[in-house]
Each structure stands twice: as C-alpha cells, then as structure tokens.
Chains A and B, each alone.
Chain A
Amino acid sequence: MTRFRKLITRVVIIAVVMFLCGCTALFNLPGLPQLFPVVLPTISVEPEPVACIGGGLPHCEGGFPITNTLVATLIVDVLLIGVFFGAARRPKLVPSGVQNFLESLIEILYNQAEQVAGRNARKIFPVGATIFLFVFFANYMELLPGVDSVGYVHRVEEEGVQGYELDRSTPEGAPIVFLNPSCPVIAQDRYDRLTDAQKTAREEAGCREPIQVAEAAGGSPAAEGEHEVDRGWVVAPTVRTASTDINVTLALALVAFTATQVYGVMGHIPHGRKGVAAVLTGIKRYLSKFFNVGGFRRPGPGKIFGAIDFFASLLEGLSEFVRIVSFTFRLFGNIFAGTVLIFVVMYLVPYLGPVATLLLETFVGLIQAYVFMMLTFVFMNAAAQVHGEAGH
C-alpha cells in the first residue's frame, strides 16, 4: 500500500513539474501564440484615482482624487476596527474563537516589545502594534483576487502603456466589460515582427489592425495631433494594495518618526517632575544628543575629542531623518515589487505559476510588517535612553 502511495506521489509530482514546465514553454517561447492569454495589468507607481471631487477621471486634474490605495486603506481600517471592537465587545474570561486568536496575536506582539524595552514595553507597545496590524492587513490585501484587477476601464492616452481591446461579446454600453487578452493593441512595427502563427491567432480572435503611430523623423509628437490614435483600453483598479502607494508608507514612517521623537523627549524628562519647565528640560536634554557640545568644555587637547563627539552627534541627528526614507522605501519597494512580480508571473504562467509567487508574498508581507514594528520599537527605545546611562 505504501509503495503504491509512493508511486502515486511520484507520478503527481512529475505531472505537476511537467505541467509547470509545459506552461512555461507555452507561454514563454517567443513566436508561439499564447494558449491562455492573460492581460498584463498596467504597472504604474502612482495610484490611480477612482473618484474625483471637483474634477474629471481618469487623471483628476484640478480636483481632489480619491485614489484606489485610499479605498484599500479605508477597507483595512474598517476591517481592523470592526474585528477588534467585535471581539472585545463582550470579552470572555476564557477566550475562544476570534477573541482567542486576537489575544494570542497581541500577546506575541507584546512579547516582542518586552524583549526590546523590558519594563517600558507598555509605553511603546501601542504605536508599534498598531503599525504592525495595519501593515500586515494592508500587505495581505495584495493576495486577494479582485484587488488590482477589477476596476474602471478607460482609454490609454500616453505612450508606453499596453492597451487592450474590449471583449466583443459584451454588448454596447454594458456596465461590466472585459478586456480581450488576445488582442493587445500594438503598433505596426511590432506587428511586423510577430510570427505567422501569432498573426493568425490575432486574426482568429478578431483583433483590429495594428495602429499606425506617426513615425516622422525622430518620432516627433507633432504629427500625432492630426489624427487620434486608438491605443486601446486599460483598467484602473478600484482597490489597490495600500502599501504600493508611497504616500501611505511615508505617512507610516512619519508616524513612527514623530512617536520616536515624542517618546525620546518623554524619556529625558527628569524623574518625578511635571509641568512645562520639565518638558522644556526634557527637550533640551534630548536635543543635546544631536548637538553634543559638552565635549568642548573639556580642558586642553580633550577639545579635539569634543569636536569628534560633536560631529558624531550631528550624524546621529541626520540618521533620524534617513530612517524616514529607509522606512518608506523598504515597505514600498518590497510590496510594490511583490505586486509587479505577481502581475508578471500571472501573465507569463497563468496556471500554478502564481501559487509560488503568492506563497512568497505571504512571507514577505508578514516579514515587512514585523520589521516595521520591530524597528519602531528599537528606535523608540533607543531614543529614550538617557545619555551616559545606557553604558556605551
């Protein structure tokens, strides 16, 4: 029986590998028509507006754009607030179900904070944990079907974006339309480079003739204005992963930065004192980390080391601002690259190929949320260390 099972496993593995390789060959080989064509989504760094207050779509000039990443952010917010309030509304002493899950999650996060900050964990925990939960849910939205692929269809206006024809089977004026993946709109010079098999495939699918882009000397854009070129249609998704918008990650980085500074000042307030004077003392002491002029008071040649200390402290101040940049681009870069990877693999190997990518992205999304939280904890804890006490 076990031998039989082993055999079955082997056959299945070989079949899967063959299927994967077959798919790759079918979809990758230049010159062959695609068997199961898939639309390559438009890759744009800036988020697309889905609604516009006081302006027109698709570019929303002069208006206030409601971007698709804003929609995703709101969805994550509603989801988080709903789930947590729902679970905490009637808390049970012996937790079960959702409450159990959330409690264990919070406990894991709290242990991380405790590992970094010891008994001060209570103070830094809320900022980092909130960032973790938000980033975690926001990252995992990229794994959902429909995100990045369902949206509002508009015409391609600029060059360099791959447009597609609309599906012919949908009636005129229908509310829901599909792009026709067999018919990417291409220019004449690219059409000429296709093989005969690909040309026949295009003809069978009933695609339009390739577009004639004015190819005057040097590709001057002046000739294009004379006749409108139909570059096809693209989708501007309604929901797009929030972390692929640099504004979202920058906002999170600024939150972490501000929280770090505030907590740093709080840590430098003398013990047991309250009021404006104490806060001012705290600010003064905290700033002395970044403008360390104390070394100049040393006698004689010690002043040289004082100067070195001063420049080192200036660098420390600079690194506070560099952290904003690195926070921003770490999250943005990872998740944006992940979505692009998912798009491209889905385009090249529509079946089974994306599974590996989605698995990788599950990992990356978790790690990025964790790293963001841990770095926030570490930076906040370091900011509150009083100079000289930390033992360095």
Chain B
Amino acid sequence: MDIATATALAKYLGAGFAMIGAIGAGIGIGLSVGGAVQAMGRNPDAAPLIQTNMILGVAFAEAIGIFCLVVSLILLFVVQA
C-alpha cells in the first residue's frame, strides 16, 4: 500500500471514527426528551415551559453530535489527501 492509498484510507476511517461521538448526543437527546415527556405526562399544564427547556437542552446535546459531524465532513471534503 503506497502513501496515497494509506492517506485516503486514513481519511475515510477517521471520518467514520469521528462520528462515534454522535452516540453521546443520541443518548443525551434521548434522556432529555424522555424526561420531558414523563414530566409532561405528570403535569400537562406545564407542557409549554417543559417543551421550551427541552428544546434548549436538546440543542445543546445535539451540538456535540454536530461537532462530530463537522469534523467528519471536514475530513471528507476539505482535507486533501
């Protein structure tokens, strides 16, 4: 395997590995939405407030996943190998 093939291989592997971080975002979003839905079920009157806070929390959790995605996209489309 020559250098060019090896770098291309490393690029794609790295892009794939970068997306492992999305697991954390998935767990975080799942936990926060699950908690919010339970809270809404117990206290439907507070639904709008819970929903707003839930979306904010989801956005923070999702940002981590998006960072992974950006790293992966940069590896795929910006890094010239």
Smallest CB separation, B29 vs chain A (Å): 12
Restricting to B25-66, which residues have a CB under 8 Å from any CB of A?
Answer: 48-49, 52, 55-56, 59-60, 62-63, 66
Tell me what chain A mostly uses at the interface: helix, strand, loop, or mixed: helix
Query: Considering the complex, which residues of chain A in the window 119-173 have a beta carbon less than 8 Å from any beta carbon of chain B?
Result: 158-160
- Return the CB mask of B1-27 against A: 1 if under 8 Å, else 0: 011100000000000000000000000
Question: Is the beta-carbon distance between A43 and B77 smaller than 8 angstroms?
Answer: yes
Residues from chain B with Cβ under 8 Å of A326 in the complex? 60, 63
Least CB distance from B5 to A in Å reads: 8
Asked if residues B73 and A370 are in contact (CB atoms below 8 Å), the reply is: no
Contacts of A160 in B (CB 8 A): 80
**8 Å CB contact of B70 from A43, A112, A332, A374:** A332
Contact with B along A321-355 (1 / 0, CB 8 A): 00000100110111011001000000000000000
Return the CB mask of A353-380 against B: 1 if under 8 Å, else 0. 0000000000000010011001100100
- Nearest opposing residue in chain A for B3, CB measure: A218
* A115 with B66, Cβ < 8 A, contacts A160-B80, A218-B2, A330-B59 known: no
A226 to B69, CA, bound (A): 39
Q: How many residues of B contact A (CB 8 A)?
A: 21
> How far in angstroms is the closest Cβ of chain B from A45?
5
Question: Quick check: is A96 within 8 A (CB to CB) of the other chain?
Answer: no
B67/A329 in contact, CB under 8 A: yes
Q: Is A44 an interface residue (CB 8 A)?
A: yes
Task: Indicate if A391 sits at the interface (CB-CB under 8 A).
Answer: no
Does A299 belong to the interface (CB within 8 Å)? no
In the complex, chain B residues whose CB is within 8 Å of the CB of A45? 73-74, 77-78
In the complex, what residues of B have CB within 8 A of residue A337's CB? 66, 69, 73
Closest Cβ neighbor of B65 among chain A residues: A333
Nearest CB of A to B70, in Å: 5
Contact of B55 among A217, A333, A374 (CB under 8 A): A374
Q: Which of B4, B49, B59, B69 contacts A115 (CB 8 A)?
A: B49
* B63 engages A370 (CB within 8 Å): no
Are B52 and A375 neighbours in the complex by a CB distance under 8 Å?
Answer: no
CB distance from A202 to the nearest CB of B (A): 24
Q: A45-B74, A333-B70 are in contact. Are A115 and B63 (CB under 8 A)?
A: no
From A246, which residue of chain B is reached at the shortest CB distance?
Answer: B70
Q: Which residue of A lies closest to B78 (CB)?
A: A45
Query: What A residues does B69 contact at CB under 8 A?
Result: 333, 337
Shortest Cβ distance from residue A75 to the other chain B in the assembled complex, whole angstroms:
25
Q: A115-B52, A371-B56 are in contact. Are A219 and B4 (CB under 8 A)?
A: yes
Contact B73 A336 (CB under 8 A): yes
Given contacts A43-B77, A44-B77, contact A370 B55 (CB under 8 A): yes
Residues of B near A334 (CB, < 8 A) are 62, 66
Shortest CB-to-CB span from B69 to chain A, Å, is 5
How far is A374 from B55 in the complex, measured between Cα atoms in Å? Answer: 9
CB nearest neighbor in A for B49: A115
- Distance, CA A376 to CA B72, complexed state (A): 27
Please, which residue of chain B has its CB at the minimum distance from the CB of A161? B77
Contact B63 A340 (CB under 8 A): no
Closest to B48 in A: A115
CB of A253 to closest CB in B, whole Å: 12
Residues of A within 8 A of B67 (CB): 329, 333
Chain A, residues 32-74, CB within 8 Å of chain B (1/0): the string is 0000000000011110000000000000000000000000000
Contact sample, A vs B, 5 pairs, CB 8 Å cutoff? A116-B52, A330-B62, A333-B69, A334-B62, A374-B59
Known: A44-B77, A336-B73, A375-B56. 10 other contacts (CB 8 A): A116-B52, A158-B80, A218-B2, A326-B63, A329-B67, A332-B70, A333-B70, A336-B70, A371-B55, A374-B59
B contact set with A: CB distance below 8 Å: 2-4, 48-49, 52, 55-56, 59-60, 62-63, 66-67, 69-70, 73-74, 77-78, 80
Q: Identify the 6 closest CB pairs spanning chains A and B, nearest first.
A: A333-B66, A371-B59, A219-B4, A333-B70, A330-B63, A326-B63
